Amino acid sequence: MNSIIFKTILLFTLIQIGCRKTNVFNPTRPDPHSFSRPDLAITTHLDLNIRLNFDQKKIQGTASWKIQHNASDRIIFDIMDLTIDSVILSDKNQNTAFAEFYVQTQDSILGDELVIKIHSNTEQLTIHYSTSEDAMALQWLDAELTSSKKYPCLFTQSQSIYARSWIPCQDGPAIRFTYNATVQVPVGMMALMSATNPTQKNKDGIYSFKMEYPIPAYLMALAVGDFSFSPIGARTGVYADSMILSEASWEFADLEKMVNSAESLYGPYAWSRYDVIVLPTGFPFGGMENPRLTFLTPTIIAGDRSLTSLLAHELAHSWSGNLVTNASWQDFWLNEGFTTYFESRIMENLYGKEYADMLSLLGQQDLKKTLKDMADQPGMSKLKLDLWNKDPELSLSDIAYEKGKLLLRYLEERIGREEWDLFLKAYFKHFAFKSNSTEGFLQFFNNHFPQIDIKVLDTMHLFIYQEGIPDFKPGWSTKLFDQVDSIRNLFYQTYDLKKNLTANWSTHEWLHFIRGMDLSKSEEFISALEKQYQLSESKNSELAFAWFIYLIQSGNSMKFKDPINRFLEKTGRRKFVLPLYEALAEHGQMEWANGSFSNFRRHYHPVTIQSIERVLIH
């Protein structure tokens, strides 16, 4: 029997009996993480009309899609645990008809394939659907888990492939669309999206939104809760629970300056307004760059504006990621490497080179640790990844961020900053509101620098396609960290860290101090540092996290079990809680880890829960 016919029959049989199959390579499907076939039919605009039921933890409504096709007989959407009730087709004369559709169970990672039969003249289709209580993108929080404790809260996290769990869509970053939305929520709550937004609650709980610029599905975002707004500048402001709004507004006072700084580097901000929202503690990431409304973790609020480089990072995404988007998650470094580099340039503009260099050196430390942790899977240390049959979440590592940034820094130093900046401006302008691949970037680079030294091209290819890091030492100043090293060595001898020596330290000096401590130091040493600085009670989440990791790895965690548990309870940011659970599991505290996770899991977003379960549940 012909092997292709056999594989087709086998595939059909597996679908019919409801078995899950692996996500095999399909050369006719351009994106390894989307079942959509844009060559057959593609979505161009969404009219979303939904209502939220907090009692059932469910979103229900319609997604009306305008589509383009060349007389295709079908269009394919991505869905994940959605219930599809019906689909209605429309033509240009507004004639309607119920559509035939079917759902193919495909993959435990990617979800399901929704295939809708269309006619040659179909221009729009309306999908009636509802979400599952277990939707991966959605975190439903009871009122008691918010700051004000007055209303419950919902927020989404669509990146990387979870938009399909709350909207039937073509969930690949290369497919962009505009959207309008109507969202009905309980009276007394405010709804916000990655679009035009209200600044006050309305009386009926019905909110309307518009995003006139085309975005990929992973940038679809919704937050609903007891939010208030405070302006910062002419086109910037912050939303937050009223209990923490004043703190957030003070912490983000430089937001307008950051927008101006970014524009001075790489051209006009293209999205009209730039607002941010501080979400409850369960938000799984530091920030998510949803257009016009960056979602932020409350762990950024340290009371001293010391963690606002995160703001610069999410703002930079308005160019690299939102304006110019990776064509697939295999090219994720195009989003995050560019953004991490851009973040550094903004911080240098605002706070000086030595400050920015400290951030870069900390990033280098993170990269070295990631490479060490990846020793058993070196292929994941490439910038250009092969993610067929793999979870796209695997791309979310310091490789994309810090190795990508290192490549761009290498090019800056070889080409010269002035000429490099001109290139980046041209890059953002050329690919504005488009998606791009690694190969597309290389072609654009080659066209822009036709006389570039072949050694530079060779090194670029080593960065992108080879494992590990090429031999390159960037010109970052280590002066401030060298001083920290000297003070740490002095503390080793005296067990007395005089406060006049640390009075002017930023968070970054403290992180370098803690990360560089000898794990074999005695309990007396640890007690002396804790007594002098109360690090276990620090309101700075970065410092508390670094200290707790050190305590666990050095075998001194039990004396600090209560503050570590308080941190795990009040912090849902995956960057912090996942490594803490991993460290507990690796250092003989699995019972503690499982008990704490069982107690606190309702505080965490599904994305965070899934990651922790991979560590603790075997």
Active site residue 591: no
Q: What are the beta bridge partners of residue 97?
A: 89
Please choose, from the candidates 614, 617, 616, the residue with its C-alpha nearest in 3D space to the C-alpha of residue 109.
614
Please choose, from the candidates 372, 381, 352, 287, the residue with its C-alpha nearest in 3D space to the C-alpha of residue 508.
352
- Secondary structure, 3-state, 413-453: HHHCHHHHHHHHHHHHHHCCCEEECHHHHHHHHHHHCCCCC
The interaxial angle of helices 353-373 and 404-415, nearest 10 deg, is 130
What's CA 150's distance to the chain center, in Å?
28
- Residue identified by tokens 């979103």 is 59
CB atoms within 10 A of CB 6: 10
Residue 50 to residues 59, 130, 344, Cα–Cα distance (Å): 7, 9, 39
Question: Cβ distance 294 to 276 under 8 Å?
Answer: yes
308/258 Cα distance (integer angstroms): 10
Which one of the listed residues 129, 162, 207, 401 is annotated catalytic?
Answer: 401
Question: Cβ distance 62 to 124 under 8 Å?
Answer: no
Active site residue 401: yes
435/320 Cα distance (integer angstroms): 10
Q: What are the beta bridge partners of residue 215?
A: 177
265/425 Cα distance (integer angstroms): 8
Q: In what order do the strands lie in the sheet with 153-156?
A: 138-141, 153-156, 222-225, 190-193
Question: Cβ distance 302 to 247 under 8 Å?
Answer: no
Compute φ and ψ for 462, nearest 5 degrees.
-65, -45
Question: Cβ distance 61 to 161 under 8 Å?
Answer: no
Contacts of 26 (CB under 8 A, 6+ apart): none
The conformation of residue 100, written as its DSSP 8-state character, comes to P
CB atoms within 10 A of CB 475: 9
Question: Cβ distance 461 to 470 under 8 Å?
Answer: no
Which one of the listed residues 123, 289, 314, 530 is annotated catalytic?
Answer: 314
Please choose, from the candidates 41, 9, 4, 1, the residue with its C-alpha nearest in 3D space to the C-alpha of residue 26.
4
Compute φ and ψ for 582, nearest 5 degrees.
-60, -45
Alpha-helical segments (H) within 86-141: none
Contacts of 527 (CB under 8 A, 6+ apart): none
Residue 233 to residues 114, 138, 212, 273, Cα–Cα distance (Å): 44, 31, 23, 10
Question: Cβ distance 226 to 241 under 8 Å?
Answer: yes
CB atoms within 10 A of CB 528: 17
Mind telling me the catalytic residues? 314, 401
